Amino acid sequence: MKNATIVFTKVPKAGVTKTRLTTDRGGILTPEEAKDLYEGCVLDAINACIAADCGDVMICYNQGGDREYLESFLTRVSNRASIKEVFCDAGGSFDECMQYAADYVLKNGNAERLADSLLIVGGDLPSLQPAIIRDAVAKLTRLAKTDAGMAAARFKGEPVGAALIEGACQEGGFSIIGYTYNTPFEFDKVFYNLDGITALDVALGKAREHGIPFGYVEMVPDVDIPVDLAGMIPMVRSIQLAARYDDAVMLPVNTIRVLDEIGLEATSPPSPQR
């Protein structure tokens, strides 16, 4: 089964990306620092996908994003030649943009599809590891061959059945989602629904409704608001130390560089005296 991994991202731009981390929105970073931090996160997420070596790596960026600037900072990834394609979404809601990215690859299951399965990962995932990508693809491959996967398939008689995989992030969201071309899944009302249901719960509901075999992988937190940043810093420092002793751990070198340049450290209120 051929897989594609899409890094779904905005083109980093001061005052546009990660604005909730800035002082203007109650955060601690300048707009330029927030842009630099996000850029480091995106580069590290792409490097993890390249190192996973689980099929084609693609970049889907925001409509209106600066393609020339995107190409300039992509020269800093570990292997630019490993990125199969860079394409722009079609705009609209987050649901619509995600659906466009998926449809671009899977093409409604027709013979011109670019892959049999896809993973979509966020760009703001500095702790993403290649092992997580490999685990997701392995589970998709296994689940799509099960009897349940064949029974839930959109098109019967195909060698690949239905399967859905997710990796959670904070507050009921997900940072990784993947499925096969033969999976009856769409992003409609996943992120924008009128019932106040979390994105992860909506996706789970769709899996239950259609009997889609479901798998999960290790949680990978994203970085949207100051509390996320506070949690990310010690996690990245943990990875930095672990990488000294484990060659399988991939160091998020670009994120670490930005943290060092800005001088960011996480703090916690001292425990009250008893």
Task: Give the position of tokens 């399988």.
Answer: 248
pLDDT above 90 coverage of the chain, percent:
93
- Taking only the tens place, the pLDDT of each residue in 199-217 is 999 999 999 999 999 999 9
pLDDT of residue 199: 94
Q: Which stretches of the chain drop beneath a pLDDT of 50? A: none
- Taking only the tens place, the pLDDT of each residue in 86-140 is 999 999 999 999 999 999 999 999 999 999 999 999 999 999 999 999 999 999 9
CATH architecture of 3-261: Alpha-Beta Complex (3.90)
pLDDT of residue 171: 86
Contact 58, 105 (CB under 8 A): yes
**pTM flag (> 0.75):** yes
